[in-house]
Homo-oligomer: A and B are copies of this chain.
Amino acid sequence: MEELIGTLAGIFTTVAAVPQIFKAWKTKKVDDVSPKMFLVLTLGVALWTVYGILKADTPIIITNGISTILNSTMLFLILKFRNT
């Protein structure tokens, strides 16, 4: 049971940024989105990835590695579309 809940939790938190990325890409509008949130989130999941590498913990590396890519993509879109 625990493993199922942990896997679901990992999937949800990993892909959470996807709908925000689609919305930003479609509307080209990001003024209401906080760049600080995505900066802090990207740093956090990048640190979790380093933590996973140090612990040789594959699930932590994979989920947070994907999150690092997704959240830094959103950070890029915020910088690209700001004040458009």
A residues with CB within 8 A of B = 1-2, 5-6, 8-20, 22-24, 27, 29-34, 36-38, 40-41, 43-45, 47-48, 50-51, 54-55
Q: Is the CB of A55 within 8 A of B9?
A: no
A32 to B34, Cβ gap below 8 A?
no
Oligomer copy total? 2
List, in ascending order, chain B residues with CB within 8 A of A44's CB.
Answer: 8-14, 16
27 contacts between A and B (CB under 8 A): A2-B51, A2-B54, A2-B55, A5-B50, A5-B51, A6-B47, A6-B51, A8-B44, A9-B47, A9-B51, A12-B40, A12-B43, A12-B47, A13-B41, A13-B44, A13-B45, A14-B44, A16-B40, A16-B44, A18-B37, A19-B34, A22-B34, A29-B31, A30-B32, A31-B32, A32-B32, A32-B33
